[in-house]
Amino acid sequence: MKHKELKQLITEMGLTDFQTETIVRNVINLLDLNDHTNNTYPDSCPNCGTIDTKFIKKGVNTGKQRYQCKSCFSAFVWDVNRLTYHSKVHIDKWNIVIRDTLSIVPLLETAANTDLTERTVFRMRHKFLLLLETMIQDNLLVGVIECDETYVQESNKGKKIPGKKARKRQASASKRGLSSEQICVIVATNRQGIEYACVVDSGKPSASAIRENLEHHIQKDSVMITDALASYNNIVALKACTHYTLSSHKDYNNLLHLNTVNSIHSIFKSMIRQYRGVATKYLNRYCALLVFVRKYAQMDDNEMMLLMRQQINKSSIFCKSKLLATTNLVLV
C-alpha cells in the first residue's frame, strides 16, 4: 500500500491531522522494520560455508525466514549466530523487548505487553544489554575529554549470601564514607558527544584499574580534564595527554569544566532508581545502555528500533541463557 493511500484510509476515520500524521508515521516505520527483517539475506551457509549461493526460502519459524542451502541442503534461519538465534520467542516480541529496554520501561510492564514471563523477559533484556556492552567497546574519545567518577552503593539484588543479612532497598551502607561498599563508575565524554562508561573498582579507583578500563578508549595527545584524583596520572602519561585537574567548582571556566560528565552521572543514577536498583554484577550492562540511549536520544522509538535491527544483523554475537549470570559471550 502506498503512503498516500494509507493516509487517505486513516483520514476517513475522522481523526485530526496530527493524529493522522502520527499513525501514518508509526505504521510506515513499522513497515520499514518488517521489510528490513524479512529481506535480511544470509551471506553464507552456516553449515558448509558456501558463499554467495542462492538459498531457497523454506518457511518461517517464530517470525524468522528459514532458508535451505542448495549445496548441502541444510536448513537454517537468517539470524544464525546473532542475538535472537536459538530463541523460540517470536521476532515481534523481541522487537517489543528491545524497544522497551531502550525506553527504560519496567520489566513487569514489558512482560505484560508481550505475554511472556518475567524470567523470560529478564533473560531477553540481558542478552540485548550484553550486545550493547560489546558495541560500546569501540568508542574512542578524542579532543577535549571530561573524565570523572561517581559512586553507587553495592547491591547483591537477587542473591542470598550466607551469613550476611539482606539490606533493605535504599538503606544506607554499613560503613560511612567511601568504602568497599561503594562501587566506582567512571564516565568519560568528549565535546563531540562520544561517551564511555564502565565499572572500574570498589571504593576509590586505583591507577591500574583506571588504566585497564580506559586505555583503549582514550586517543593519544588528547586533552583530559579530571578532578584532583591522582589515579588519573597513569593513563594521562600513557596517552601523552595534556592534563587539567579541577579541584573544585571555583576552578571551572567556559572551556575547562566537568559539567557535562557530572550531568551524565545524575542521569545514570536516576536511571538506576527507575529500575529499583541494579545488581552490581549487571552494572556494566546498564552503563552501556546509558551510553547507547544518549547517543541516539534525538531519534524516536521506531527510528531507533530500525537502527538497532541493523546493528543486530551486522553483529555476529549471541549469548546462551544459562551463561547470562557469568556474562560469557559466544563470539563467532
pLDDT per position as a tens digit, 296-307: 877 776 677 777
* Out of 47-51, 61-65, 210-214, 261-265, least confident range: 61-65
Coil vs helix vs strand at 33: helix
CB-based contact 184:149 (threshold 8 Å): yes
Closest CA to 86 of 61, 110, 111: 61
Mean pLDDT across the chain, nearest whole number? 79
Domain spans, the chain: 83-138, 139-160+175-302
Q: Residue 327 has what pLDDT?
A: 42
Q: Is 225 helix (H, G, I), strand (E, B) or coil?
A: strand
Domain 139-160+175-302 has CATH 3.10.20.30: no
Closest by CA to 321, choosing from 160, 98, 120, 133, is 120
Query: How far is the C-alpha of 167 from the C-alpha of 157, rounded, in Å?
Result: 9
Per DSSP, the three-state class of 43 is coil
Task: Say which range, 145-154, 178-187, 250-259, has the weakest mean pLDDT.
Answer: 178-187
Express each pLDDT in 134-181 by its tens digit.
888 889 999 999 999 999 888 777 666 666 666 665 555 556 666 677
